[in-house]
Amino acid sequence: MSDFDKIGSHLPDPFRLWWREKVLSTSDEVRLLAEDGMEEGLVFVAEEQVSGRGRRGAEWFSPPGESLAFSVLLRPAEPKAFWYRLSLVAGLAVAETLEKFVPLVEIKWPNDVLIGGKKIAGILVEAGKDFVVVGIGINVNTEKFPEGLAATSLCIEAGRPIAREEVLLGVVNRLAVHSARLDEGFKDVIEGIRERCYLTGNQVSLTCADQRRKGVVKGLGSGGELLLECEGGTEKIHQADEVRIIRE
């Protein structure tokens, strides 16, 4: 029995909890189940991930018993053209939950959540034929990070340990609300994301379609796209890798 079992009955329909002591990757586990016909709403939590990863295959630092690592299976009714919004939707769900414990949580487009410029959570959205796996990692009670890693945790920021199951329940509750608003209703979701957008007003460098782009972020468009002011005008960026703020 785990600490997470106590929240299982409190999850909103159709969400339900599976917990495992140790897996290679929660997202890989959920993908296999989805391909085998698993219904949406599965929340797969692992105490330890041997091969947890972030975007571009980067390893996710997730000490057992300290961090929160889980993946959620969704089968959106909206067209696939809207599925990219789930990274921001999940980021908002995480930010709103963390703000119950600490102030000033920011979303770094497209998939990170920060406090004071330091990463506290990461999101990896992977789509299948008719499903989406939303992988989320949150630094909850970690007190020490590898040297050079610009990261923080809820425990560090709040000054006290936080129950991981409480954080998980909060994120799933908010994700249940926002993931149902990828099309109509997204205009309300995007306002919450804009309020927390870490990149707005900053000069950034990013990789888009294997090309480097530089410019000033003017904000987010109505669909969640990054509005990047470049020499040739304002570009709408829907997906990008390695988004970095350029410090003068």
What is the spatial distance between Cα 248 and Cα 54, in angstroms, rounded to a whole number?
Answer: 28
Domain ranges in the chain are 3-195, 203-245
Q: Which residue has the tokens 């630092």?
A: 61
Residue 248 pLDDT > 80:
no
The whole-model pTM stands at: 0.94
At 151-179, the pLDDT tens digits run 999 999 999 999 999 999 999 999 999 99
Residue 78 pLDDT > 70:
yes
Residue 90 pLDDT > 70:
yes
Residue 54 pLDDT > 70:
no
pLDDT for 53: 54
CATH topology of domain 203-245: SH3 type barrels. (2.30.30)
Residue 60 pLDDT > 90:
no
CA distances from 60 to 32, 115, 119, 173 (A): 21, 18, 11, 24
Q: What angle do CA 119, 189, 177 make, to 5 degrees?
A: 90
What is the spatial distance between Cα 203 and Cα 226, in angstroms, rounded to a whole number?
Answer: 12
At 180-233, the pLDDT tens digits run 999 989 999 999 999 999 999 999 999 987 789 999 999 999 999 999 999 879
Cα four-point dihedral sign 241, 145, 51, 73: negative
What is the spatial distance between Cα 129 and Cα 34, in angstroms, rounded to a whole number?
Answer: 10
pLDDT for 241: 84
Single-letter amino acid, residue 83: W
Question: Tokens at residue 8, please?
Answer: 């299982």
Q: Of 33-37, 60-64, 239-243, which has the strongest mean pLDDT? A: 33-37
Give DSSP secondary structure letters for 127-146: E-SS-EEEEEEEE-S-----
CA terminus-to-terminus distance, the chain: 52
Question: Among 200, 193, 209, which residue's Cα sits nearest to residue 245?
Answer: 200
Q: How many CB atoms lie within 10 A of CB 105?
A: 25
Element holding 70 (H helix, E strand): strand 67-74
pLDDT for 61: 64
Q: For a pLDDT cut of 70, what percent of the chain falls above it?
A: 94
At 108-153, the pLDDT tens digits run 999 999 999 999 999 999 999 999 999 999 999 999 998 888 999 9
Kindly indicate the confidence band of residue 49, based on its pLDDT and cuts at 50, 70 and 90.
confident
What is the spatial distance between Cα 19 and Cα 48, in angstroms, rounded to a whole number?
Answer: 10
Q: Does domain 3-195 have CATH number 3.40.50.2300?
A: no
Fold equal for 3-195 and 203-245 = no
Question: Tokens at residue 90, please?
Answer: 């999940």
Q: Strands 16-23, 42-49: parallel, antiparallel or unpaired by DSSP?
A: parallel
Q: How many CB atoms lie within 10 A of CB 203?
A: 16
